[in-house]
Structures are given as C-alpha cells and as structure tokens.
Chains A and B, each alone.
Chain A
C-alpha cells in the first residue's frame, strides 16, 4: 500500500480506520458497521458472557435472522425445526441481553443481511463493514470496505469495535465497453471468476472499474461485489459515484440535512486517485461476455451458455483430468454435451447475490405471459420483506405466479441447504446463488449458477437455455 502519493479507494478507507499500528505492521482497524445473524453469532455472545464483556457499540450493530428460517407461510406460526428454533431464540435472547438492535422474523424489514444493509441505509460509502458471513463483500458496491469474518472475530468486534488486520493488496478489475443484450452483472462476475480463478484474488481487495461497471445500477454492483469471495478476494469495491449517492439518499438510516452534505463531500473524496498503484490488474471486454453458466463444482468452472461440457481427456495434466472427471461424475454430465441440453428439476431465483427488486423484475420480464415447463419446480425468494412488498406493488408476484413460479418469503432459502429449502440427491438446479460446491444446496444436489433472467429462461424451457432466445414476449412492457 502506498504511504504517500496517489492512493486507491481501499488505501483511503483503510488509512481512515487505522486506530493504531502494532510494531509488526498489524493494524487495529476500526469497524463502523457490524451485521449479525443467527448462525455465526451464538458462540460469540457466549464468549462475551463468559468473560463478563459488553457490546461496545450496540448503535453500530444490527441483528437479523436469515439463514436457517423457512421461506413459506409456516414461519408465521413459529419455527418447527427444533435446532433452528433454538438458534433463533438464542439470537433473540442475546440481542435483548446485550442491547443490540434487532429486526424480528415477522418484521417487513427482515431479510438477507446483505440485502437489508444497503436497503435500510445501514451500509454507507466509506464505512468499514463486517459480518460473520463471507458474502459481506456485497456492501463494497457502495464504496465501502466490507468483508466476512469468523465467529472469534465477531466476538472481537462486539467487544472492541475493532479487528486486528494486515493490509490487503490492491487489485483492479476493469470491465470496459458495454454489455450485449441478455447479459447482466452476474455474467460479468462469472466471466471474471472464470478468467482469474477461485484463488485469483486471494490476499487482495478487488476494485471493479471500467465503463461496464460504471453503467451498472446498485443491484448489479452488489451482485459483482458479492461474488468477490468466489474469486478468493478479501473484499470487492466500486468507487462511489452519482449512482451510489442517488441510491443512498433518503434511505431510513442514511444521513440527512447538513449531515448528508458533509457525508457527500467526504464520499466524493474516496475514489482512487489517478495513477494510484495496483498490485495486480485484469481487463475484460464486456462486449465479449455472453450469458454465462457454471457446469462444474467450483465457480471458476464456467462457460458461455453456447458451450459444451469439457472433456477430461483434453486436460493439461493428470491432476486436472482427475478433478474434471470427478466433477463430471458428481454433476451427472458427459463430455461434449451441449449445456442447453441439460434438463433442470429446480430453478431458484434468490440469495444475497440476486434477490433484489431489479433481479425480480428481470425474471418477471422473461416469465411474463409464459409458463414454467412441466415437472420443473421454480421458486422466487425475495431478498427482504421490503423487496417482496415492492414487487407485489409492481404486480411482479402475479406475473410470476401465473407463470407457475412459487412466490416466497424473504431469506437465504436454497442458497445453502440449512433451512427447509434444499435439493434432493441428483436434482439439477439452475440457481442465481453464488456457490456450486458439492452438496451446497443439499447433499447430492447439482447446481448451475446463472443470472436471474437466465434462470427464468431455464424454468420456462425446462433445460438450461440461452436467454437471448427468450426475450420478453412482444407487447409486454415489464
């Protein structure tokens, strides 16, 4: 990191938050916002209790339940799974005991922690934001330094409002020119991961830049930053600009009046200085990106939808050949198969990657006036209660339900296989989530990652499909 001279967005936010630097270069970094959920916090609160410590800044902390809750009507009558219930009740007991603000399950503002942070104005440009969840990188879309931490660090932040951190290296990913029809932020980030690999960003914070990133709306930027962790990066960021400020303005927890003007002046100083040094730089041409879909069990195993299943015989070495063969066996694929020939059993539109109103609009635009293919279970899970209400106000729920999609309550749902929404062994799923790991969506489940529009097209076709062949029906203005 440059000590003098032009600095990056990351350098500036980092320097602003260093409370103290220890002799070996470890920084004590101040944390502005701490998001807490039910799965990675119980042991942290237990640690505080055992040591007789309190939460240093409850006002900087917010708790919500999202991971292990049901996304159907059953949530209104109580959580049926005893372990899930205990975890939620434990969070409720902890937030009451330690005075942490909490959004309960049946509150309209409840939702996926990485959807509600930006939505409520709890996540702001220039902040340091952490959460016991790797997809905290999402909030970097606002021009914040946001990263996931483990439970020991959750406890550390609760007790001290700081973390012990070594500075990351700077990496810039520039996506130049404009996206073609049918391509979205999800296709950009899948293309990036395909190019740099799942460890391509390890030890780095990625700043996304270039014309195609600037052209994205905030939901799109969140999708890109969200999957930074799938490229191994500590965090992803986009410099704040007029798109950011227009998004933040007027949100419930955003600064108002004179504070807004002061905040804005500060936020405008954050973008990387011209000539700021990056340790690593990658450039992609947005115009060359096609709608993408993963075929394997790592997010880097991704191809344009027009592609075919790779042949292990063509692998460069024995280790890769064995790895490819294992993936093909797990995914139930044969070399040379066209991706568009893969029949799907389930379609999942949701998760912290793609469950915002813009994502639901994109899915509804494709689904309008059409029907989900016979035998396909298609579900849409809004990222928050507020997204759900907004979608209903726009009539998107009606379009989706008429097409045969399930319209569900907010939560992490089928992204991670720890609540009732799971794949059964062998089921193939077109999913807008972020991880296609073995067993991620349920033991034996087969995940193909893609964009919301591509997922909607797969639901209608009954197999993975090229969304460019499924553009909105004539006369629809959705």
Chain B
C-alpha cells in the first residue's frame, strides 16, 4: 500500500448526502477479477449519459476537477454495499482523500486498506471547503496526515481526528496481514483452546 503523508491537490465538491457505493460504482462493473482499471466506472451513472457520452454537468467531467485528488461530500458517505471496488475506483481515478461529515463503517474501513484517507469534518466546514473547491485550479487544498490538519487555500488550518493505529498504518503504508501474522502464536493458542472447548466450530 502506498503511504499517505501529505496531499496537496484539487478538490471536487459533491454536495450530496448518502452517496452510496452503488453510486460510486454500479454493480454491473463488479464483474472484474482485478483491483485496477475501475476509475473509468467511477460514478458511472452520473458521469455518462445513456449513449455512453460524458455528462458535462457532472463535476468530475469538468475542468479542473478531472484531476481532482480530493472529494468533498456530505453525510453518510459510502453507505450501502461493502464493495471495495468503491475505494478502488476512487483511487484509480486519482482520489486519495474524501472529506465528509461522516462515513458508513465498511467504506471507512475499506479506505484505510487502500491508502485513501477519509477525513471527518463538520457539515459547515465541508460546505466551506466546497466553496473553496469551486474556485477551481487555483484553490488547492492540503491534507496533512502527519499534523492532522486540512489547510484551506487561504492558509487557515482545520484540525481533524483520526484513529492512531490507522494513521500509523497509513503514514507507513503498512500491510495489515503482515502485522497480524506477528501475532501467530496468540492465534494458534486461541485456536487450540477453542478446539477443545467448542469442537463443533471445527470441521473434520
């Protein structure tokens, strides 16, 4: 996983609540066996018209937001299906940070596994950042995970909270499985105890 330290980039405003993972990537694009190449299907039902052409009204089809690295939205972002294709599609498009008042649990988890930083900030601040983002290419927003601040184009710093363990993993690009396997002895002994106490949980 690519570490996330500091990101300065163009932010795209998506002033919607309850952006579900079916919107982020519709199910018909989940028939893939790869993690990559999903960026072109990101928000497909909004980005493309029925004939397949681009919908110029959708923010990610407009300059400079085609190059957005940050997405700003409203409450309950990423609700619905557990599909990790949602963060994969965001990442493949180039988005490495989503800012919203809150996130659905599974999507929130999935972001951290893919080097995407979800930042929770109050609705008023998200609305303000959206206004900043509307200024376009000259209005770059910085997200600094080390210092835990979002920096507005005018230089104002907005602090945010993040789980320390997840922050550590993201800053260092750590692979969860490798870390967990360091606890192999504990897993082995838990399993041995359980096999004796609750043998019905173990197959032949």
Interface residues of A, Cβ cutoff 8 Å to B = 19-20, 22, 24, 26, 28, 30, 32, 39-40, 42-43, 46, 51, 53, 59-60, 67-68, 81, 83-84, 86-87, 90, 124, 127, 132-134, 148-153, 155-156, 159-162, 164, 166, 198-199, 202-203, 229, 232, 234, 254-255, 259-260, 262-263, 266, 298, 319, 323, 416-418, 425, 435, 437-440, 443-444
Contact = CB atoms under 8 A, between A and B. Distances in A.
Contacts of A127: 201
A198 B17 CA distance: 11
A199 B79 contact: yes
B53 interface: no
A160 B181 contact: yes
A51 to B, nearest CB: 7
A477 B18 CA distance: 44
A198 B75 CA distance: 10
A244 to B, nearest CB: 15
Contact of A263 (B16, B104, B198): B198
Contact of B30 (A39, A155, A161, A198): A39
Nearest to A39: B30
B187 to A, nearest CB: 6
Interface residues of B, number: 55
B157 interface: no
B113 A153 contact: yes
A124 B84 contact: no
Contact of B106 (A60, A150, A439): A150
A22 to B, nearest CB: 7
B187 A161 contact: yes
A260 to B, nearest CB: 8
B39 to A, nearest CB: 16
Contact of B33 (A42, A199, A418, A439): A42
Which of B84, B165, B202 is most buried by chain A, counting CB atoms within 10 A of its CB? B84
A418 B27 contact: yes
Nearest to B17: A323
B5 interface: no
A202 B23 contact: no
Interface string B1-41: 00000000000000011101011001110111111000000
Contact of A134 (B32, B82, B183, B198): B82
A229 B186 CA distance: 31
Given A149-B82, A418-B27, A440 B22 contact: yes
A98 B35 CA distance: 20
Contacts of B113: 150, 152-153
B177 A199 contact: no
Contacts of A164: 165, 176, 179-180
Contacts of A259: 199-200
B183 A159 contact: no
